[in-house]
Structure 1
Amino acid sequence: MESLIFGIVLVVSVGYFFYRVNYLYSLLKFGQAENRFYSPLKRLNNAIKNGLLQMCHFKINDKDINYAGIMHALIFFGFVVLLFGEIELIIKGFIPSFSFSFLGFLYPVYLFLEDLFAFLVIIAIVMSLVRRFVWHPKKLNYHFSAYLILIFITVLMLTLFYMAALEMAKTGKVNPYEPFAGLVYKLLNIQSYSEVAYHIAFWVHMIVLLAFLDFIPNSKHLHILASIPNNYFANLGPSMALRDLNFEDENTESFGVKNVNELTWKQLLDGYACTECGRCAQVCPAANTGKVLVPREIILGIKENLFHNAKNLIAKQELTPLVTNDLPKENPHGYFEYGFAIPDKALWQCTTCGACQNVCPVSNEHIRDMVDLKRYAVLTQGEFPEKLVPIFNNIETNSNPWGINADYRLDWAKDLDVKTIDELKDAEVLYFVGCASSFDDRSKKIAQSFVRVLQKANVKFAVLGKKEKCCGDNARRLGNEYLFYNLAQENIETFKAYNIKKIVTTCPHGYYTLKNEYSKLGGEFEVLHHSQFISQLIKEGRIKLSNNIHQTATFHDSCYLGRHSNIYEEPRQIATQAGFNLTEMKNSHCNSFCCGAGGGMMWLEEEGERMNKVRTAQAISTNAQNIITACPFCMIMLDDGVKDIARDDIGVLDIAQVVEKSMA
């Protein structure tokens, strides 16, 4: 009778689990098609490395993230090892005398591993409790479900030890292959085997195990099922890969995303995979300077909106949109929480720095979700911050956000004898100056220094002059895809008309856009950032640095040069060769803190604490005499940051200026 009852409970529980999983899978089918099935070997490598081997927890060097990574890895590997023991127990529910002892010498080895990993899981639970009740990090969600899971896991481990200890009571001896269960046997001073006690422990264990199983697809622990597939289907292309919009289709009534079923199935899967660990919030410059934006809540907002609209999706009825004008209520314990509607204000606070995506353990793609939503706001609704009206108009009429006429685009080059492509059609390389270095007085110095470096290195280069247009980066990140599309097409036509093969930029935003996004529109060119090009010139012996600058400096990693383009060492090597003694900021390399200018934020009014002030303070804390960067937008923001605190003794330099100063 007991076996029959156990069988019924098992079938009902497992049946419900698969019913719920199938339901969740059916919701993914409402998402738009997306090809994430190419390059299966690369994808398998991602799934193994970040999922099975748990390397996803060690992407950056951070005390809390690495601590949590060890904790989660212990639980994950513990459950992998304990899975075989659970199978053995389930079979025992039908055949009490069953065991895997027929495996011979392997069985004692497994008993030892099971005992060891059960103990390590207990250690991980203690680590989790210390973290939640002692450290109390802001990034965590302190919901009851998290504590319920910890209770479930603890009960499972303790009942395993207790059942093993009862088995030892049959012989009156400690099994040497189960030292921790043996410790329980001794501590409880179990004198004899109790059939009743064993059955109670067995049923408690199984009820908790099956409750845990059914809780997984109904809680944040859905990531247990979705995280490895999500790592398999990770983006293998450029870090901010976006969906193409077809502006030639006259039947298209709207662009961008309004409702959850307009997202792709992979964007919906991101919500399932989210562990709610809060790492994206921890590293987000907006979330940590008093903004409404919390990257985690963008992903969770999509998931909650999917669940909220599930019945209407199935019934093909009107849906609740993803975005709301309402602001979320403040969370006294941590960051804002959105629910099933994302506040539109949050979308216009993202700098697209990529810190969230870089640290995410399950390969979620926060940026494209926000860009998709902004595309709908800009292209379909025509609703966006008022500050952007003149910016879009400037780009549309004068091909630059400053709104300065193209006739003045080459003013920075007066008296430098810079040739345009019309004057030097066989140029070795085209220098794509960019809007900032063409029109902003501080950034002009970058272009001037770089040109003098090229001239001293006898590089045969040319510029487009009046024919150069904005690369479209700001327009695209702000959701104005149509404006980006037109700018890109015009630039590509110009490049092709002059048979341009090689382009160098002094702006990481232009570098990323020309290199990664123009190719989809037919613009295939070799694109280099000026730090890469200068590094090549040094290696070729065309530039010699005198190593005569004996000063200290700290290097600020531009988001678009570092995280988005993986260029970290070239500018540092150049600065070191020039004679600078570099000191790293706490947030450096892939963990760099954004200056606040990216994603079009340069043109918007920033609420809360200013990001550039935070980053400037981090730089000043190194006691360096200079802040070196390799991005005109970063230079503007950091220079403002230094001036705001009246630290005129600190220099803010671009890597091109560093090279010019040091050239022999």
Structure 2
Amino acid sequence: EVDITRPLFSLNFLKSTFYLSYSVTLDIFGVLAIIGILMAGYRRMFMKPVNLKNRRDDAIILTSFLVILLTGFLIEGLRIGVTRPPWEAWSPAGKITADLLASLGMTSGSMRQIHLFTWWFHLVISLAFLAYMPYSKLFHIFTTPLSIFFQSLEPKGILKKMELEEADHFGASEINHFSWKQLMELDACTECGRCSDVCPATLTEKALSPMEVIVELRDYLSLTGPAMLSSKNGEKQTGSSIKKMVGNIVQDEELWGCTTCRACQQACPVYIEHIPTIIEMRRHLVLEESRFPTEVTNTFKNLEVNGNPWGISAEDREKWTEGLTVPTMRETGGEVDYLFWVGCAGAYDARHQKVSRAMVQILNAAGVNFAILGKEETCNGDPARRIGNEYLFQILAEQNVETLKRYRFKKILTTCPHCFNTLSNEYRQFGTDFEVVHHTRLLDELIANNKIKLHKEIRSTVTYHDSCYLGRHNDIYDAPRRVVQAIPGVTLKEMPRNRENGFCCGAGGGRMWMEEPHPKVNHNRIEEAAGLNPNVVTSACPFCATMLSDAINETKRQESLENRDISLLVLEAMDISNE
């Protein structure tokens, strides 16, 4: 009012009822702010949450806030103590302070002197704090709105395509290899720890903490940024005198611990995208350093030579169809409604072959016009891309796209969320526009349209495990649950961590092909499921099925608990004879 509205517009608004309301509101929120700061300090000093790290910056910020608020109330109390305005009751905190000072025998003259000193002290501290903010974690006040505004509008499950022929580096080995948005996200982090609170790697005592990765990179940016700005070739200048970003600042074990489950991004209030940042560093390790877990070597070799992670011959891709009526695209000669993308697990893994066979029987019973690629199908490339081998992923993707473009079909059907995500979202980077349907959605549609009838009652208590790549990556939550609830006799119980807050099985991000030390992610999940006393943990993903089944066996629960894909429950409820 004094600086702007009165001299420029001759407007006084701090008067009458508005001023009284303004004064009491300011006091109330000031007191609440002090209480909040004291609670935050107590939480950090005594409760010490695991994923909330205490740094000098935190102490400076909380102390500064507290001093500014307390001196503000002291100034108000001294002013009221000297002037004693008739409306002093509308400044309750100030009045209490004034009464306290008067009870201590402080005179009006001494109050004036202390008021002058305190006013200047309050001003200096406030201005110093404002100057400190850009150099502290509070810089996120400016970058957080930008991070939210510039959040990716791409499908959640997509990773950026590398232009391999044009790239002068593969992945991120230096801080300036990240995009401007990724660098901005480092400063947007509030260090709230929510990402690490839900991270399956962190919760099972692995090296990875998503928040720590972001903070480590932010500190590294602060360290190397000035040198890079002052040098035309900052990479060389910083590389010789400062620790390497990947391997020293961010440890290899942190990067390989990520399951790409997206729980961190789901929990982040400022929309930081941890997964692309981690994958960029993985790409550097794989493509430039050839530094990755030894067990992944066979996975890459099998994908290159045989087109599947198991290394089984492509000639065996159709063996699972023996005894069933399964048309192939090369034999149909015309258009089909659904191209059934069986996937590597559906073709080679004995556990998931049952799912493929179940889906064929359901499709035939419903009269669905479908066909498979069979021997012409190869791995979609998801494991290679998530592990960091973008080169291998693109080879597999281009091969599949070329094959798919030879045939006519309306939709692609998958039983694997990883296949679903890659074909639906990431193959668009190669000029496709396929409509891809996950089998839980098709089953839901067939049941709703009475194309299949569920006659047999299955007396079971079932809990459903949300696949990360079906749920958080592609927002498919309701269709699987509707299918389970449509099965006669089934009681569906939800685990505490479900839907967008569901807990990972531990197989994503290429972790399916890596060894994991104890405690294991899948054990954590099956312990949660077992707490409901179900008969069945149902899922809709071959990776999840493997991890959950292994956890059931390893925790010796196989006599009371089993994992079954939703399609197997549906087939049993249909009560049709095997072909």
TM-score by length of 1: 0.80
Q: Which residue of 2 aligns with 1:626?
A: 536
Pick one of 498, 508, 512 that aligns with 1:602.
512
Q: Secondary structure at the match of 1:266?
A: helix
Correspondence list, 1:131-150, <5 A: 131-150=43-62
Deviations 1:30-53 (A, max 9, x none): xxxxxxxxxxxxxxxxxxxxxxxx
Structure-2 residue corresponding to 1:225: 142
Tell me which of 168, 172, 179 is aligned to 1:264.
179
Which of 543, 558, 571 in structure 1 is aligned with 2:467? Answer: 558
The C-alpha deviation readout for 1:626-661, integer Å capped at 9, x for no partner, is 101111100000000001122122121111112112
Using the aligned pairs only, state the percent identity: 38
Distance 1:231 1:383 in 2: 34
Are the aligned partners of 1:241 and 1:368 in contact in 2 as well (CA < 8 Å)?
Answer: no
Secondary structure at the aligned position of 2:154 is classed as coil
Match of 1:275 in 2: 190
Alpha carbons of structure 1 residues 285 and 126: separation in structure 2 relative to 1, 3 Å: same
Name 2:422's counterpart in structure 1: 513
Quick one: distance in 1 between partners of 2:325 and 2:394?
33
Alpha-carbon spacing, 1:209–1:547, altered in 2? closer, same or farther (3 Å) = farther
* Contact preservation (8 Å) 1:260, 1:322: no
1:501 partner SS: strand
Change (3 A) 1:582 1:134: farther
In structure 1, what is the Cα distance between the partners aligned to 2:435 and 2:428? 10
Structure 2 Cα separation of the partners of residues 226 and 360 of structure 1 = 14
- Cα distance in 2 for residues equivalent to 1:322 and 1:521: 34
Q: Return the alpha-carbon distance in structure 2 between the equivalents of residues 482 and 428 of structure 1.
A: 32
Q: Give the Å deviation of 1:143.
A: 1.5
Q: Which residue of 1 aligns with 2:19?
A: 107
* Cα distance in structure 2, aligned partners of 1:553 and 1:380: 46
Query: What displacement does 1:192 show?
Result: 6.0
Amino acid aligned to 2:313:
N
Contact 2:458 2:490 in 1 (8 A): yes
Paired with 2:455 and 2:244, the residues of 1 have a C-alpha distance of: 57
Matched, 1:344 2:261: no
Instruction: Return the alpha-carbon distance in structure 2 between the equivalents of residues 111 and 322 of structure 1.
Output: 54
Give the secondary structure class of the aligned counterpart of 2:330. coil
What is the correspondence of 1:406-417 to structure 2 with a 5 Å cutoff? 406-417=314-325
Structure 1 residues 646 and 151, CA, compared in 2 at 3 Å: closer, same or farther?
Answer: same
1:297 paired with 2:206, answer no
Q: Report the equivalent of 1:584.
A: 494
Count of residue pairs brought into register by the alignment: 556
Q: Which of 170, 176, 201 pairs up with 1:255?
A: 170
1:173-228 deviations in whole A, cap 9, x for unaligned? 45343233333334444676522222222123222212221221112222122111
- Where in structure 2 are there 5+ consecutive unaligned residues? none
Distance 2:256 2:310 in 1: 20
Cα distance in 1 for partners of 2:550, 2:451 equals 34
Structure 1 residues 115-124 or 348-357, which shifts more? 115-124
Establish whether residue 122 from structure 1 lines up as the match of residue 37 from structure 2: no
Q: CA deviation at 1:166?
A: 2.7
Residues 479, 130 of structure 1: CA spacing in aligned structure 2 closer, same or farther, 3 A cutoff?
A: same
By how many angstroms is 1:483 displaced? Answer: 1.0
* Cα distance change, pair 135–549 in 1 and its aligned pair in 2 (3 A): farther
Quote the Cα distance in structure 1 between the aligned partners of 2:428 and 2:409: 14
How much does 1:324 deviate? 4.2
Residues 335 and 408 of structure 2 are in contact (CA less than 8 Å); yes or no, is this contact kept in structure 1?
no
Q: Quick check: 485-494 or 235-244, which moved more?
A: 235-244
- In the alignment, what sits opposite 1:655? 566
Output one character per residue of 1:334-373: Cα deviation in whole Å (capped at 9) or x when no partner: xxxxxxx111222111111111111111111111111111
Q: Which residue of 2 aligns with 1:215?
A: 132
CA distance in 1, matches of 2:244, 2:415: 38
Q: 2:194 aligned with 1:284, yes or no? A: no
Distance 1:142 1:354, change over 3 A: same
3-state SS, counterpart of residue 425 of structure 2? helix
Establish whether residue 456 from structure 1 lines up as the match of residue 328 from structure 2.
Answer: no
CA contact (8 A) 1:409 1:439 kept: yes
Letter in 2 for 1:215: Y
What's the CA shift for 1:102?
4.9
Structure 1 contact 271–300 (Cα < 8 Å) conserved? yes
Aligned counterpart for 2:94 among listed residues 155, 160, 181: 181
Contact 2:157–2:469, Cα closer than 8 Å, also in 1: no
Where in structure 2 are the equivalents of 1:462-481 lying within 5 Å? 462-481=371-390
Aligned to 1:422, the other structure's residue is in SS state helix
Distance 1:179 1:407, change over 3 A: same
Whole-Å separation in 2 of the counterparts to 1:184 and 1:413: 84
Q: Which of the residues 549, 552, 556 maps onto 1:642?
A: 552
Match of 1:369 among 251, 259, 277: 277
Is the deviation greater in 112-121 or in 472-481? 112-121
Q: Is 2:208–2:257's contact at 8 Å kept on the other side of the alignment? A: yes
Q: What is the correspondence of 1:24-173 to structure 2 with a 5 Å cutoff?
A: 101-102=13-14, 105-169=17-81, 170-171=83-84, 173=86
> Following TM superposition, by how much is the alpha carbon of 1:122 offset from its aligned partner in structure 2, in angstroms?
1.7
Q: Is the 8 A contact 1:553 1:581 kept in 2?
A: yes
TM-superposed deviation, 1:520:
1.4
When residues 495 and 160 of structure 1 are mapped into structure 2, their CA distance, relative to the original with a 3 A threshold, is same
SS in 2 for 1:581: strand
Please, which moves more after superposition, 127-136 or 357-366?
Answer: 127-136
Structure 2 match to 1:389? 297
Structure 1 residue 105: deviation in Å? 4.2
Q: Which residue of 2 aligns with 1:82?
A: none
Note if contact 1:545-1:663 (Cα within 8 Å) is conserved in structure 2.
Answer: yes
Q: Which runs of 5+ in 1 are unaligned?
A: 1-86, 327-340
> What's the TM-score once normalised by structure 2's chain length?
0.91
Q: How does 1:303-314 map to 2 (within 5 A)?
A: 303-313=218-228, 314=230
Give, in whole Å, the separation in 1 of the partners of 2:445 and 2:165.
Answer: 41
Please tell me whether residue 443 in structure 1 is matched to residue 342 in structure 2.
Answer: no
**Deviation larger for 631-640 or 650-659:** 650-659
Q: CA offsets, 1:347-406, max 9 Å, x none? A: 111111111111111111111111111112222232222211111110011111010011
